[in-house]
Protein backbone atom coordinates (compact mmCIF):
# COMPACT_ATOMS: atom_id res chain seq x y z
CA UNK A 1 0.00 0.00 0.00
CA UNK A 2 1.29 3.40 -0.87
CA UNK A 3 -0.18 6.88 -0.86
CA UNK A 4 0.65 10.02 -2.78
CA UNK A 5 -0.88 13.24 -4.08
CA UNK A 6 -3.07 12.60 -7.14
CA UNK A 7 -1.63 14.52 -10.10
CA UNK A 8 -4.98 15.96 -11.27
CA UNK A 9 -4.12 15.38 -14.92
CA UNK A 10 -6.88 14.37 -17.33
CA UNK A 11 -6.99 10.78 -18.46
CA UNK A 12 -8.23 7.38 -17.39
CA UNK A 13 -9.17 7.38 -13.71
CA UNK A 14 -7.65 3.88 -13.47
CA UNK A 15 -4.14 5.14 -14.33
CA UNK A 16 -1.81 5.75 -11.35
CA UNK A 17 -1.92 9.58 -11.60
CA UNK A 18 1.17 9.69 -9.39
CA UNK A 19 2.42 13.24 -8.82
CA UNK A 20 5.65 11.96 -7.27
CA UNK A 21 4.67 13.57 -3.94
CA UNK A 22 4.41 10.76 -1.36
CA UNK A 23 2.00 10.80 1.57
CA UNK A 24 2.99 8.88 4.71
CA UNK A 25 0.79 6.58 6.77
CA UNK A 26 1.17 9.16 9.56
CA UNK A 27 -0.29 11.83 7.25
CA UNK A 28 -3.24 9.53 6.55
CA UNK A 29 -3.68 8.95 10.29
CA UNK A 30 -4.09 12.71 10.80
CA UNK A 31 -7.16 12.40 8.56
CA UNK A 32 -8.29 9.39 10.65
CA UNK A 33 -7.67 7.13 7.65
CA UNK A 34 -6.21 3.91 9.00
CA UNK A 35 -4.06 1.82 6.71
CA UNK A 36 -2.90 -1.72 7.46
CA UNK A 37 -0.71 -2.91 4.58
CA UNK A 38 -0.03 -6.59 4.02
CA UNK A 39 -2.00 -8.16 6.88
CA UNK A 40 -3.56 -11.62 7.13
CA UNK A 41 -7.16 -12.58 7.84
CA UNK A 42 -6.42 -13.25 11.52
CA UNK A 43 -5.36 -9.60 11.94
CA UNK A 44 -8.46 -8.47 10.01
CA UNK A 45 -10.61 -10.47 12.45
CA UNK A 46 -8.80 -8.89 15.42
CA UNK A 47 -9.37 -5.36 14.06
CA UNK A 48 -13.02 -6.17 13.26
CA UNK A 49 -13.59 -7.40 16.81
CA UNK A 50 -11.89 -4.32 18.34
CA UNK A 51 -14.11 -2.01 16.25
CA UNK A 52 -17.34 -3.95 16.73
CA UNK A 53 -17.70 -5.18 13.15
CA UNK A 54 -19.85 -8.31 13.20
CA UNK A 55 -20.98 -8.61 9.58
CA UNK A 56 -19.17 -8.83 6.29
CA UNK A 57 -19.66 -9.58 2.66
CA UNK A 58 -17.51 -9.71 -0.46
CA UNK A 59 -17.72 -7.64 -3.58
CA UNK A 60 -16.21 -8.60 -6.91
CA UNK A 61 -15.72 -5.35 -8.82
CA UNK A 62 -15.15 -6.45 -12.41
CA UNK A 63 -17.07 -6.72 -15.65
CA UNK A 64 -17.66 -10.40 -14.91
CA UNK A 65 -18.70 -9.79 -11.30
CA UNK A 66 -21.06 -6.85 -11.90
CA UNK A 67 -22.32 -7.64 -15.39
CA UNK A 68 -24.50 -5.04 -17.07
CA UNK A 69 -24.21 -2.55 -14.18
CA UNK A 70 -20.38 -2.49 -14.29
CA UNK A 71 -19.94 0.89 -16.01
CA UNK A 72 -22.64 2.53 -13.86
CA UNK A 73 -21.08 1.20 -10.64
CA UNK A 74 -17.54 2.27 -11.58
CA UNK A 75 -18.76 5.80 -12.31
CA UNK A 76 -20.72 5.85 -9.03
CA UNK A 77 -17.74 4.67 -6.98
CA UNK A 78 -15.61 7.47 -8.48
CA UNK A 79 -18.04 10.30 -7.70
CA UNK A 80 -16.90 12.36 -4.73
CA UNK A 81 -19.03 11.22 -1.81
CA UNK A 82 -19.09 10.48 1.91
CA UNK A 83 -20.66 7.84 4.12
CA UNK A 84 -22.23 8.18 7.54
CA UNK A 85 -20.36 5.06 8.68
CA UNK A 86 -16.73 4.03 8.44
CA UNK A 87 -15.87 2.27 5.23
CA UNK A 88 -13.68 -0.76 5.90
CA UNK A 89 -12.28 -2.76 2.99
CA UNK A 90 -9.88 -5.69 2.97
CA UNK A 91 -8.46 -6.40 -0.46
CA UNK A 92 -8.43 -10.12 -1.22
CA UNK A 93 -7.43 -9.98 -4.89
CA UNK A 94 -6.81 -7.39 -7.60
CA UNK A 95 -5.92 -3.72 -7.13
CA UNK A 96 -7.55 -0.34 -6.92
CA UNK A 97 -7.29 3.21 -5.63
CA UNK A 98 -9.07 4.99 -2.83
CA UNK A 99 -8.81 8.75 -3.16
CA UNK A 100 -9.46 10.85 -0.03
CA UNK A 101 -9.54 14.61 0.24
CA UNK A 102 -6.41 16.07 1.80
CA UNK A 103 -6.77 18.30 4.84
CA UNK A 104 -6.59 21.41 2.63
CA UNK A 105 -9.61 20.04 0.68
CA UNK A 106 -7.86 20.96 -2.59
CA UNK A 107 -5.76 17.90 -3.28
CA UNK A 108 -6.71 14.26 -3.51
CA UNK A 109 -4.56 11.71 -1.76
CA UNK A 110 -4.48 8.51 -3.80
CA UNK A 111 -4.07 5.29 -1.82
CA UNK A 112 -3.06 2.31 -3.95
CA UNK A 113 -4.43 -0.91 -2.42
CA UNK A 114 -3.52 -4.48 -3.25
CA UNK A 115 -4.09 -7.96 -1.79
CA UNK A 116 -3.83 -8.15 2.00
CA UNK A 117 -4.29 -4.39 2.50
CA UNK A 118 -6.96 -3.19 4.92
CA UNK A 119 -8.15 0.40 4.72
CA UNK A 120 -10.50 2.20 7.10
CA UNK A 121 -11.99 5.42 5.74
CA UNK A 122 -13.73 7.49 8.44
CA UNK A 123 -17.35 8.60 8.29
CA UNK A 124 -17.72 12.11 6.88
CA UNK A 125 -14.56 12.28 4.73
CA UNK A 126 -15.03 12.92 1.03
CA UNK A 127 -13.55 10.09 -0.98
CA UNK A 128 -13.92 7.99 -4.13
CA UNK A 129 -12.75 4.62 -5.45
CA UNK A 130 -11.63 3.21 -8.76
CA UNK A 131 -9.99 0.08 -10.04
CA UNK A 132 -6.49 0.19 -11.45
CA UNK A 133 -5.84 -0.70 -15.10
CA UNK A 134 -6.30 -4.41 -14.28
CA UNK A 135 -10.06 -3.71 -14.00
CA UNK A 136 -10.59 -6.07 -11.07
CA UNK A 137 -10.73 -6.12 -7.31
CA UNK A 138 -12.25 -8.57 -4.85
CA UNK A 139 -12.75 -7.05 -1.42
CA UNK A 140 -14.25 -7.97 1.91
CA UNK A 141 -16.54 -5.25 3.23
CA UNK A 142 -17.04 -5.12 6.99
CA UNK A 143 -20.09 -3.70 8.79
CA UNK A 144 -21.07 -3.15 12.41
CA UNK A 145 -24.68 -4.06 11.69
CA UNK A 146 -26.47 -5.18 8.55
CA UNK A 147 -24.51 -4.60 5.34
CA UNK A 148 -25.21 -1.19 3.88
CA UNK A 149 -23.42 1.13 1.57
CA UNK A 150 -25.09 4.50 1.21
CA UNK A 151 -23.05 7.14 -0.65
CA UNK A 152 -23.92 10.80 -0.19
CA UNK A 153 -22.58 12.63 -3.23
CA UNK A 154 -20.84 15.96 -2.56
CA UNK A 155 -23.26 18.87 -2.53
CA UNK A 156 -24.06 21.96 -0.49
CA UNK A 157 -26.47 19.81 1.52
CA UNK A 158 -23.89 17.06 2.11
CA UNK A 159 -21.38 19.69 3.23
CA UNK A 160 -23.79 20.36 6.13
CA UNK A 161 -24.23 16.66 7.01
CA UNK A 162 -23.64 16.13 10.77
CA UNK A 163 -21.16 13.31 10.05
CA UNK A 164 -19.22 15.68 7.81
CA UNK A 165 -19.23 18.37 10.50
CA UNK A 166 -18.05 15.84 13.10
CA UNK A 167 -15.24 14.66 10.80
CA UNK A 168 -14.05 18.23 10.14
CA UNK A 169 -14.08 18.98 13.87
CA UNK A 170 -12.07 15.82 14.59
CA UNK A 171 -9.23 16.70 12.20
CA UNK A 172 -8.93 20.20 13.68
CA UNK A 173 -8.40 18.77 17.17
Binding site, residues? Answer: 81, 83, 87, 127
> What is the C-alpha to C-alpha distance for residues 110 and 16, in angstroms, rounded to an integer?
8
> What is the C-alpha to C-alpha distance for residues 22 and 121, in angstroms, rounded to an integer?
19
Binding residues for Fe(2+): 81, 83, 87, 127
Identify the CA nearest to 138 among candidates 67, 43, 32, 58: 58
- Residue 112 bridge partners (DSSP): 2, 97
Binding residues for Ni(2+): 81, 83, 87, 127
Distance of CA 72 to the CA centre of its chain: 18
> What is the C-alpha to C-alpha distance for residues 57 and 34, in angstroms, rounded to an integer?
20
Amino acid sequence: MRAYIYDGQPGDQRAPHDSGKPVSLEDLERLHVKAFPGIDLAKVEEIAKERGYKNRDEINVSKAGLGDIYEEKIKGFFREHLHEDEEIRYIKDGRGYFDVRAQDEKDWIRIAVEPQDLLIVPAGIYHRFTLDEGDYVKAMRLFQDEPKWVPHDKSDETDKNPHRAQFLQSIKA
